[in-house]
Amino acid sequence: MRTIKLGTSNLEVPVIAVGCMRINSLDKTEAEHFVQTSLDEGANFFDHADIYGGGKCEEIFADAIHMNASVREKIILQSKCGIRPGMFDFSKEHILDSVDNILKRLRTDYLDILLLHRPDTLVEPEEVAEAFDLLESSGKVRHFGVSNQTPMQIQLLKKAVKQPLVANQLQLSITNANMISNGFNVNMENDAAINRDGNILDYCRLNDITIQPWSPFQYGFFEGVFLGNEKFPELNEKIDEVASKYEVSNTTIAIAWLLRHPANMQPVIGTMNIDRLKDCIKASDIHLTREEWYGIFRAAGNILP
């Protein structure tokens, strides 16, 4: 598995992150097999969040991987906190309490990366800074990042937070690519020109923040997958054409499309299907041509002025 540096850290991570949001859909044997297959394929970066399965997903993962000191040295663990029922909460107390509970469920002493999950408009950057300082000094968290945040929201945090923010987890797929398409449609009077995220793509590249695309196969907001979907005939025809050339699946090409971008993204895949997991991992070895990348982009209905 090809690796990249995570943000400005010295942490070498696989270009594919294994998302564990749905691991609670597997029984014990299936979960063990899935996790072991991930490790065998070089996908040792596992993404969690305290809200996944109400915390059960972290517990199931720890059981499935048979967590102990020896296993912990071989994997990279990322989790997220900040979402509570009916609200978001970046208070110092909530962050510290969340991390303690995450560590307990994962049966580990530390997280490699902690992300703040969704922006909290009531955030006090000084409280976040205090929490991060305590988590870092205690060894409970080694690196920090955010999820679904704009440049100005990140800048607000950086007003007080001294630790580098190494990752920003953002929704991005071939069909949900506004952060890319608005960069083409500068000064244009069309929907693609609407800047919905404050140029977060360019901001992350300028500041060496690794973008972690989530839902890389979804269109809309969890409306379904675009692969094999009759709503996207031209896109699927193009993806299948490119997949045939490289003798891989359409799944592989959808991930390869993200990996082709020079931002050095790290897609978070959410499949619990082992064959699709392997197909995603194969994308690490595929380098699409410029013509293929743009062809897929346009086939999804994205506009070039």
pLDDT in tens, 161-178: 999 999 999 999 999 999
pLDDT value for 222? 78
Please tell me the pTM assigned to this model: 0.96
In which band, very low, low, confident or very high, does the pLDDT at 223 lie, cut at 50, 70 and 90? Answer: confident
Q: Phi then psi for 213, rounded to 5 degrees? A: -65, 125
In the chain the domains, ranked by start, together with CATH numbers, are: 3-230+258-282 (3.20.20.100)
pLDDT value for 185? 84
CB 253 within 8 A of CB 279: no
In which band, very low, low, confident or very high, does the pLDDT at 114 lie, cut at 50, 70 and 90? Answer: very high
Task: Tell me the average pLDDT across 18-26.
Answer: 98
Q: What is the mean pLDDT of the chain?
A: 96
| Per-residue pLDDT at 283 exceeds 90 | yes
pLDDT value for 305? 87
pLDDT value for 193? 82
In which band, very low, low, confident or very high, does the pLDDT at 93 lie, cut at 50, 70 and 90? Answer: very high
Single out the residue of 175, 170, 243, 236 nearest to residue 201, CA to CA: 170
Single out the residue of 222, 218, 204 nearest to residue 264, CA to CA: 204
Task: Tell me the average pLDDT across 90-100.
Answer: 98
pLDDT value for 116? 98
pLDDT value for 51? 97
- pLDDT > 70 fraction of the chain, expressed in percent and rounded: 100
| Per-residue pLDDT at 107 exceeds 90 | yes
In which band, very low, low, confident or very high, does the pLDDT at 90 lie, cut at 50, 70 and 90? Answer: very high
| Per-residue pLDDT at 136 exceeds 90 | yes
Rg (CA), the chain: 19
